[in-house]
A and B are shown apart, each in its own frame.
Chain A
Amino acid sequence: MHEVALAHAVWRQVAAEMRKHADRRLTKVHVVVGALSGAAPESLEFALGLLVAESEWPHAAVNVRQEPVVLVCRGCGNEYPMHEMRLTCPACGGADVEPVRGTELRLESLEVE
């Protein structure tokens, strides 16, 4: 997809956080990519790596982890992982379901020293 643009958005947030910790050095960035977010983890890791290399912490590592999709059924309350692009509830067959994880892009944490 458009991982370079996404990497810039991630990096803006990383830089904003690091300004709050001006006395620390960034050593690792952890990002989570939902399996239904539309973003490809490898490409995002690559693009983020380029931005890190140009930054004031060129040796910081980047970890982009893909998060599986988890759904909740509003009918019966069942929480379950998505299996093979099937969203309907495996317990009751319900169609009124909502993803609770796996659709977004998240800056999970920063490692600093």
Chain B
Amino acid sequence: MRERIRLEKTIVTENDRLAAALAERFDRAGLLVVNLMSSPGAGKTALLEETARRLAGRLRMAAVDGDLATDRDARRIARAGMPCRQINTGGGCHLNGRQVAQAIEAYDLADLDILFIENVGNLVCPASFDLGEHRRVVVASTPEGDDKPVKYPVAFRRADCIVLNKIDLVDATGFAPAAFRGFLRDLRPGAPLLELSCKTGEGIDAWLDWLRAEREAVGRRTVPSPQ
């Protein structure tokens, strides 16, 4: 007898399970975890370098950094004062829960205020792989063009904060800030947009304020586990 069995079940992937376990661990430790995504070269590492220098001694921070090859980014971030573990993905185009779980073994999470996960430079795949983070930040930059949000909607739609870097190059690149803001408003209404330059330092304070506020928000939400 032919029959159709209705299921309507959401597909749970292996990474979804790993991400849920990481999220629980991050909540227990009481720190803020930020997943940074962008195209290659938008300035994720530069943003972390600036963050390390400016918040040194005020917040306890560490990072893990994903790239196909080399530990160049981890060394840059460490030189700026933030401990950083490099994850080399080989050919992998995004970080997954297993790689992050392994990399954070180096840290005592309870001793940190913020953990940054610098994803592999790629605006497509990282957006589909949760890493248990509290906040997703998408970094765009003016040389990439002002229509990035509509061309990569999956990444931008789920961003909790959008950083527009290299704002000092607006004139040189012909980037139209109003168009970018419009695309973003349509796709991710209400999310903060922070326009800044890691090179000149313009706008960086707003980013640091955002981080402090989110750190506070997550800290309040986290209930310390009973002794």
List A residues at the B interface (Cβ < 8 Å). 1-2, 5-6, 8-10, 13, 17, 21, 24, 27, 31, 36-39, 84-88, 95-97, 104-113
Judge whether A109 and B10 touch: CB under 8 Å: no
Q: Enumerate 18 A-B pairs (CB-CB under 8 Å) in ascending A order.
A: A1-B125, A9-B11, A13-B7, A13-B11, A27-B2, A36-B154, A37-B128, A85-B183, A87-B187, A88-B189, A106-B9, A106-B10, A106-B11, A107-B8, A107-B9, A110-B5, A111-B3, A113-B1
Measured between beta carbons, the chain A residues less than 8 angstroms from B128 are 1-2, 37-39
Judge whether B12 and A9 touch: CB under 8 Å: yes
Judge whether A97 and B124 touch: CB under 8 Å: no
Cβ of A112 to closest chain B Cβ, rounded Å: 5
What CA separation (Å) do A9 and B14 show in the bound complex? 7
Measured between beta carbons, the chain B residues less than 8 angstroms from A86 are 186-187
Judge whether A6 and B13 touch: CB under 8 Å: yes
List B residues at the A interface (Cβ < 8 Å). 1-15, 124-125, 127-128, 149-150, 153-154, 157, 183, 185-190
What CA separation (Å) do A95 and B189 show in the bound complex? 5
Of chain A, the residue at the smallest CB distance from B12 is A9
What CA separation (Å) do A109 and B7 show in the bound complex? 5
Cβ of A110 to closest chain B Cβ, rounded Å: 5
What CA separation (Å) do A105 and B16 show in the bound complex? 12
Measured between beta carbons, the chain B residues less than 8 angstroms from A107 are 7-9, 11
| Beyond A85-B183, A110-B5, A113-B3, 4 additional pairs, beta carbon < 8 A | A6-B11, A9-B14, A38-B128, A85-B149
Cβ of B179 to closest chain A Cβ, rounded Å: 13
Of chain A, the residue at the smallest CB distance from B188 is A87
What CA separation (Å) do A54 and B14 show in the bound complex? 21
Measured between beta carbons, the chain B residues less than 8 angstroms from A13 are 7, 9, 11-12
What CA separation (Å) do A10 and B13 show in the bound complex? 8
Judge whether A24 and B3 touch: CB under 8 Å: yes
Measured between beta carbons, the chain B residues less than 8 angstroms from A97 are 189
Judge whether A110 and B186 touch: CB under 8 Å: no
Judge whether B5 and A21 touch: CB under 8 Å: yes
What CA separation (Å) do A13 and B7 show in the bound complex? 10
Cβ of A79 to closest chain B Cβ, rounded Å: 17
Judge whether A110 and B4 touch: CB under 8 Å: yes
Measured between beta carbons, the chain A residues less than 8 angstroms from B6 are 108-109
Measured between beta carbons, the chain B residues less than 8 angstroms from A24 are 3
